[in-house]
Amino acid sequence: MIKIENLTKKFGKTVSLDAVSINFNRGDAVALMGANGAGKTTLIRLIMGYYHPTSGSVEINGLNPVKERVDILQSVSFVPQLPPPIKLSLAELISYICKSSGVKKEMIFEYAKEMKLDIIPNLNKSFFQLSGGMKQKFLIAVSLAKESDIMIYDEPTANLDPKARDDFYRLIKEKEKDKLSLFVTHRIEEVQDIVNRQIYMDLGKITTDEAC
């Protein structure tokens, strides 16, 4: 599904990702780990097509994520580490998501309910005004409702209480079959029940890649 070859990303003289080659396949549930500055987020951003590679290539289902971003993003769900301060109301944000991605509104409501988030009373509230946990639950509900083949989560449980984390792991376990899931995390113990592959990064390189 994702084929990365000799991928390097430099910011000025700083090498953030150093000639990384790796493949991610359907059915992989990957924990991507490493210290701050190891290159995890850079790798994710290159996969998402946010960064132009300095050298090397990324292919998702044979497509270039920078040049063919619209086609690729139809099948990618992404939850960032920190919910962004979007000023749109939940109704407007849902409208943006549904119209741009063809996601069914009812599916977002359903997954939000599974995450113990009641969207209806908050529809006219700005996304920005919700609590950190509510925002994260909403983003997770959207990512699941999108029914993507590739799911990317950057520290998805950082703002969640233990109960909400359990809900998240339960839903992911149900959904991740025959899909590719990437979890950026600092704590393997949090995701060890839902991953089947662990990758450690350091100084822009992959140091270990093992099945678990």
Partner 1 sequence: MKNLLLIAYLDLKESIRANWFIIYSIVFGGLIALFFIAGITESQVMGFSGLSRLLLMYIQVTIIILPIFVLITTVRSISGDRDSHILEYMLSFPISLSQYYWGKVAGRFITVFIPVFMAMAFAIIYGTFKGAEVPWEIFFLYTGLLFAMSSAFLGIAFFVSSLVKSSEMALGISFFVWIFLLAFIDIALISLMMQNRMSEGLIISIALLNPMEIFRVSAISLFDPELTVMGPVAFYILDMMKQWQFVVLSIVYPTLLGILFAFFGYKVFAKKDLV
Residues of this chain that bind partner 1 (CB under 8 A) = 45, 48-52, 69-74, 76-78, 80, 82-88, 92, 95-97, 99-101, 139
Largest CA-CA distance found in the chain, in angstroms, rounded: 50
Residue 211 CB, shortest distance to partner 1, in Å, is 28
- Both structure tokens of 145: 């409702």
Q: Closest CB to partner 1 among 78 and 200?
A: 78
Residue 155 CB, shortest distance to partner 1, in Å, is 13
Q: Closest CB to partner 1 among 87 and 116?
A: 87
Q: Closest CB to partner 1 among 69 and 105?
A: 69
**Tokens 């960064």 sit on residue:** 51
Q: Closest CB to partner 1 among 34 and 49?
A: 49
- In order, the DSSP letters of 108-175 are HHHHHHHTT---GGGTTSBGGGS-HHHHHHHHHHHHHHTT-SEEEEESTTTT--HHHHHHHHHHHHHH
Residue 28 CB, shortest distance to partner 1, in Å, is 20
Give the three-state DSSP class for 90. helix
Cβ neighbours of residue 148 closer than 8 Å, sequence gap 6 or more:
74, 75, 76, 77, 179
Residue 65 CB, shortest distance to partner 1, in Å, is 11
